[in-house]
Structure 1
């Protein structure tokens, strides 16, 4: 019973995990390109699915093999680089229409961003799980439930962050430019900090 206690809290922990700064910045950058709540919410869900996919896959490898080679600060640096690229891309393309043309896979960018976040955070999370749960199968179950919680958390985040960019709440052009510029600059600065702190210069 004692080993099951962490699993009971996995969903809550996963929901809170979605509110970490780098997650908020990345998904906020993504949904600022959407003009409907539905598209923004789906971006949040796809981010969570990508995040959960990578957590479960990488976490299972580490738990089952006790490998530690997948735990690297360079994964965090890659996420930082991604944030910088997303911020620059949003600044350069802010004048384009917010609505994106329909594609066969309209949310693949959100899923990919979630995959990268899952890769960066999997090592530390698995170490925490290994310290609390001895059975690999229970550890994998924890990661899955944690991931489901992160999907819910990012669904909430996407809904809240999308409000200023929906058609009904469309702000004027100057305020829109200010909001996009501020969020993009913060995204770039935070990403740069992640790179600086996780690369051995």
Structure 2
């Protein structure tokens, strides 16, 4: 493994760490966990997102190496559009739950399973897989898998740190102040809808 390849591989850890803080990742997780004030639950959700994101990337990389199959561009684009739809849904869900208790109950039936953050992470992973998987022709298989693994680990650590910060904000600042918490909820809902709409038309 030469110095150049080593740099690219281990850069994956840093890039993955920063990638976790992409706007769509942060918004989706913030909107999803906004209604819970349980610190450990926020960390658990964030960690499951990271596992879903990294797990699907690692799976796609293995499939690409073993049989040479890569997801067609139209399918990756469809998953990208699904991210936009998800952001809009989460924003609408959050605002409607704030104003109408019945919608909150209905939404909880859809989002009642703890593996939902895992699904969101997997959706983000597939949507952003194309640039990473495109590195394979320029790298040896072992180097490529190590790069993907470190990138995925960086994403997991980054989202865990984000969950740590979000959990502290919600338990130390928002939870004791009802009005501030309500304003934050409405801001997150509107921002998620706006970002989702931009995601679809950009």
Unpaired runs of 5+ residues, structure 1, are: none
2:142 is the counterpart of 1:137: yes
Identify the structure with the greater helix proportion: 2
Give the drift of 1:58.
1.7
Paired position in structure 2 for 1:23: 25
Deviation at 1:169, TM superposition (A): 5.0
- After superposition, the C-alpha distances for 1:99-121 in whole angstroms (9 at most, x for unaligned) are xx9xxx85311111001000101
User: Is the 8 Å Cα contact of residues 35 and 167 (structure 1) preserved in structure 2?
Assistant: no
Structure 2: distance between partners of 1:19 and 1:178: 22
Query: Following TM superposition, by how much is the alpha carbon of 1:93 offset from its aligned partner in structure 2, in angstroms?
Result: 1.6
Query: Partner of 1:112 in structure 2?
Result: 119
Instruction: Tell me the equivalent position of 2:9.
Output: 7
User: Residues 75 and 119 of structure 1 are in contact (CA less than 8 Å); yes or no, is this contact kept in structure 2?
Assistant: yes
| Counterpart residue number, 1:51 | 53
1:190 deviation in Å? 0.5
**What is the CA distance between 1:132 and its match in structure 2?**
4.2
- What is the TM-score normalised by the length of structure 1? 0.84
Contact 2:81 2:199 in 1 (8 A): yes
The 1:11–1:196 alpha-carbon spacing in structure 2 relative to 1, beyond 3 Å, is: same
Alignment check: 8 A CA contact 2:12 2:147 kept: yes
Distance 1:167 1:19 in 2: 22
Which residue is equivalent to 1:78?
82
Number of the residue aligned with 1:40 = 42
Match of 1:190 in 2: 195
CA apart distance, 1:163: 2.5
Whether the 8 Å contact between 1:14 and 1:149 is mirrored in structure 2 is: yes
Residues 1:157 and 1:107: Cα distance change in structure 2 (over 3 Å): same
Q: Which structure 2 segments of 5+ residues have no match?
A: none
Q: CA RMSD in A?
A: 2.3
- Alignment check: 8 A CA contact 2:48 2:117 kept: yes
User: 1:168: Cα distance to partner?
Assistant: 7.2
Distance change >3 Å, CA 194–CA 63, structure 1 → 2: farther
Q: Name 1:93's counterpart in structure 2.
A: 97
Output the CA distance in 1 between the equivalents of 2:150 and 2:11: 9
2:174–2:180 Cα contact (<8 Å) kept: no
